[in-house]
Amino acid sequence: MYDVQGQLGSFAQGLAADRQRVLRNTYWLLALSMVPTVLGAWIGVSTGILSTLGTGASLVLFMVGAFGLMFLVEKTKNSAAGVASLLAFTFFMGLMLSRLLSFVLGFKNGPSLIMTAFAGTGVIFLAMASLATVIKRDLSSMGKFLFIGAIIMLVAGLVNVFLQSSALMLTLMVLSMAVFSAFMVYDVKRIIDGGETNYISAALAIYLDIYNVFQNLLAMLGILGGERD
């Protein structure tokens, strides 16, 4: 009896240690992924490489590049190539972010808006990650509802490319921030509960959450708080 209890205790400790290792590696890789993101954004802003593309061409480039690289990350996630694929993906996402950054930097208070969005995103992530550590209930059923919400907003965003409705755009920004903040809780909780055991996939999921919150927060700050010279 005592041997069985001891073995179960050792197994539980080992399981908890594995989950903490995945979470720790996820956070390290997440921090590393910010470097190519910043580099891609800097190259995009300084060269204006995306400014020559129209809205349709930019959209096609984003859809093909983002989904193609995400597929590559998932295909290589069990090897060292997965890290390289993820960093390539985050560089591309930084490059795609440069158009929004250039728009915001056109305001007199552009740099401060970017720093506010960065700090705000950091606070949101810390709050959601902390919340995930204290929630005891299983959140696995929450994933499908969040995924459906994200798809609906993606479709609505594509439709708004043609409608150009400011009210719909602001509504989608607020909803996107809410949905992807909830995704942060869900994705961190999956690691804690052992639902995600690959730190590359985990880093990709949380990176997308952070990216979407930052992008929508920055766009909203630019629209509502941008100051012209």
Q: What is the 3-state secondary structure (H, E, C) of the chain?
A: CHHHHHHHHHHHHHHHHHHHHHHHHHHHHHHHHHHHHHHHHHHHHHHCCCCCCCHHHHHHHHHHHHHHHHHHHHHCCCCCHHHHHHHHHHHHHHHHHHHHHHHHHCCCCHHHHHHHHHHHHHHHHHHHHHHHHHCCCCCCCHHHHHHHHHHHHHHHHHHHHHHCCHHHHHHHHHHHHHHHHHHHHHHHHHHHHCCCCCHHHHHHHHHHHHHHHHHHHHHHHHHHHCCCC
> In the predicted model, is pLDDT for residue 178 greater than 50?
yes
Q: One-letter amino acid identity for 147?
A: F
pLDDT for 13 equals 54
> In the predicted model, is pLDDT for residue 15 greater than 80?
no
> In the predicted model, is pLDDT for residue 41 greater than 80?
yes
Lookup result for tokens 């959601």:
128
Q: State how many domains the chain has.
A: 1
Candidates 93, 124, 101; CA nearest to 218 is 101
Percentage of the chain beyond pLDDT 70 is 92
pLDDT for 124 equals 95
pLDDT for 11 equals 41
Percentage of the chain beyond pLDDT 90 is 54
Q: Of 37 and 4, which is predicted with more confidence?
A: 37
Contact, 196 vs 75, CB < 8 A? Answer: no
Question: Which residues are CB-neighbours of 132 under 8 A, at least 6 positions away?
Answer: 184, 185, 186, 188, 189, 192
pLDDT for 194 equals 83
Radius of gyration for the chain, computed over Cα atoms and rounded to the nearest angstrom: 19
The neighbour count for residue 176, using CB atoms within 10 Å, is 23
pLDDT for 113 equals 94
> In the predicted model, is pLDDT for residue 95 greater than 90?
yes
Residue numbers of the domain that contains 120: 2-225
Contact, 176 vs 216, CB < 8 A? Answer: yes
Lowest model confidence (mean pLDDT) among 14-23, 117-126, 204-213: 14-23
> In the predicted model, is pLDDT for residue 132 greater than 80?
yes
Q: Taking residues 65-82, what's their average pLDDT? A: 93
Q: Of 229 and 155, which is predicted with more confidence?
A: 155
Stated pTM of the model: 0.89
pLDDT for 12 equals 46
When pLDDT is cut at 50, 70 and 90, the band that residue 14 belongs to is low
Q: Of 20 and 119, which is predicted with more confidence?
A: 119
Rounded-to-integer distance, Cα 148 and Cα 154, Å: 10
